[in-house]
Amino acid sequence: MTNLHDEEHSDVVHAASVGSYLANYFALLGLLIITVAVARVDLGILNMYAAMLIAMVKTVLVVLFFMHLGKAGRLSRIWALTGIFFFLIMIGLNLTDYSSRHMDATSSPTQPQRGGEQPPAE
């Protein structure tokens, strides 16, 4: 670990060029157009995976170039990964639970008991 006092303070602020922000912006707009275009083609279940993949790429672009996480300190990066990690744990455990209970829409408690909707007795 070098002594921070000896370092130049130029790495304290890290302003990127206007061009790099504009390039990132147009990349995001391009991905937005791709998202809409892909959604208009019927790919079945692949549609959702494609949409989520594009959203993740957009997120990476925003996080790296607008939030400049790459130039932020190591601890900031660890915290960002912690957020993803615990989010995945929450989704993973919940899906494990729900997918092993064999519940489907027909056994839903909201479905059958609807007052006054019984077929009229002949």
Partner 1 sequence: MSAHEQELHLGHQFEDLKQQIESYTIGMWIFLVTEVMFFGGLFTAYIIYRAKFPEGWVHGHHHLDWRLGGLNTLILLTSSLTMALAVRAAMLNKWKPQVLFLVCTVLLAFGFMIVKYFEYSKKFREHIVPGPLFAHKDDPGQELFMGLYFALTGLHGFHVLIGILVISAITIRTINMRRMRQDFIPVELVGLYWHFVDIVWIFLYPLLYLISK
Token pair for 47: 């549609």
> Residue 31 is which amino acid?
L
Provide the H-helix boundaries in the chain.
Answer: 18-39, 46-61, 74-99
66 contacts 21 by C-beta, under 8 angstroms: yes
Q: How many residues in the shown chain lie near partner 1 by CB under 8 A?
A: 63
Rg (CA), the chain: 24
Q: Does 25 interact with partner 1 (rule: CB under 8 A)?
A: yes
For residues 45 to 84, the per-residue mask of contacts with partner 1, x marking binding by CB under 8 A and - elsewhere, is: --xx--xx-xx--xx--xx-xxx----xx-xx--xx-xxx
Q: Pick from 1, 2, 11, 102: which binds partner 1 (CB under 8 A)?
A: 11
Residues 31 and 24 sit within 8 Å (Cβ to Cβ): no
3-state secondary structure of 87: helix
With binding defined as CB under 8 A, does residue 18 bind partner 1? Answer: yes
Binding site for partner 1 (CB under 8 A): 4-5, 7, 9-16, 18, 21-22, 24-25, 28-29, 32, 35-36, 39-44, 47-48, 51-52, 54-55, 58-59, 62-63, 65-67, 72-73, 75-76, 79-80, 82-84, 86-87, 90-91, 94-95, 98, 103-105, 108, 110-111, 114
